[in-house]
Amino acid sequence: MIGMREDKKQKFMQEYIEASRKKRKKIIIVSVMAVILAVGGIWYSNSGPYKSDDGGNYFVEETPSYKGKKVEMSLIEAEQKDGKIMIPLSEVVDKKIVRFEYKDSDPEHVFYGQIKGKMPIMAFLTTAGRVVVASSICEPCYGTEFYFQDDSLVCVACGTRWRNTDLFGEAGGCVKYPPEELKYTVEGDKIVLPESVIKDWQPRFFTEDVMG
């Protein structure tokens, strides 16, 4: 009898140990899967193309690379009509980075420092295929011309570099003041900015010396 009880006890313990082992294995598998899903979700959300809350989010099919290249800014003419400023979308896609000017009806209107009567504006294509329209001004150094080099937007005047996709500062003295994105819409082959967006633009880098 004692031997039978010992056999049952031993069998029970073996079954208990085996059940516990399976339970732990199941918990580990579930935990690992949860971590994988969480990491995958974070990766997916971070790997999607950047979208701007302040500018426009029109994407084209082309996703250019500027690695190992220097792409100079091209000067184009904008059309001003019925309170709108318009440039061809196809020129931005073709030239990658362009500069144009808004001509104010008041030639004495001061946009920034010595910049008056005309507001320099840029439009460019990011490596994610997003069309960006922004002020073509590096506010601290007064630079108004830029170029692409190794996937960075670079100020000609001071050499400050920003990430092309979201204008995050990478290096240089003016990283906190990238060209400021502007709201726009796309109508057919036209990128359209309301004139009011430009007329109401205010610099972020503001001192009496700069504006005086």
HSE, CB side, 13 Å, CA atoms: give it for residue 192: 11
pLDDT digits (tens, 9 = 90+) for 47-78: 467 788 878 999 999 999 999 999 999 999 99
7-19 mean pLDDT: 61
Q: Of all residues in the chain, what percent carry a pLDDT higher than 70? A: 75
What are the boundaries of each domain within the chain? Answer: 1-48, 58-211
Structure confidence by residue, pLDDT tens digits, 69-108: 999 999 999 999 999 999 999 999 999 999 999 999 888 8
Give the per-residue pLDDT at 35.
45
Give the dihedral of Cα atoms 24, 29, 31, 34; nearest 10 deg: -160
152-156, 200-204, 205-209 — which is least confidently predicted?
205-209
In angstroms, how far is CA 212 from the centroid of its own chain?
33
Percent composition of the chain: helix, strand, coil (DSSP 3-state, to 5): 30, 30, 40
Tokens 């990011």 belong to residue: 126
State the burial class of residue 162 (Cβ atoms within 10 Å of its Cβ: 0-12, 13-18, 19+): buried
Joined tokens for residue 168: 């995050």
| Region 137-163 average pLDDT | 97
> Using 50, 70 and 90 to split pLDDT, how confident is the model at 209?
very low
The pLDDT of residue 181 is above 60: yes
DSSP H helical ranges for the chain: 2-47, 89-95, 195-199, 208-211
Q: Is the pLDDT of residue 31 over 80?
A: no
Question: What class does CATH assign to 58-211?
Answer: mainly beta
| Amino acid found at 59 | F
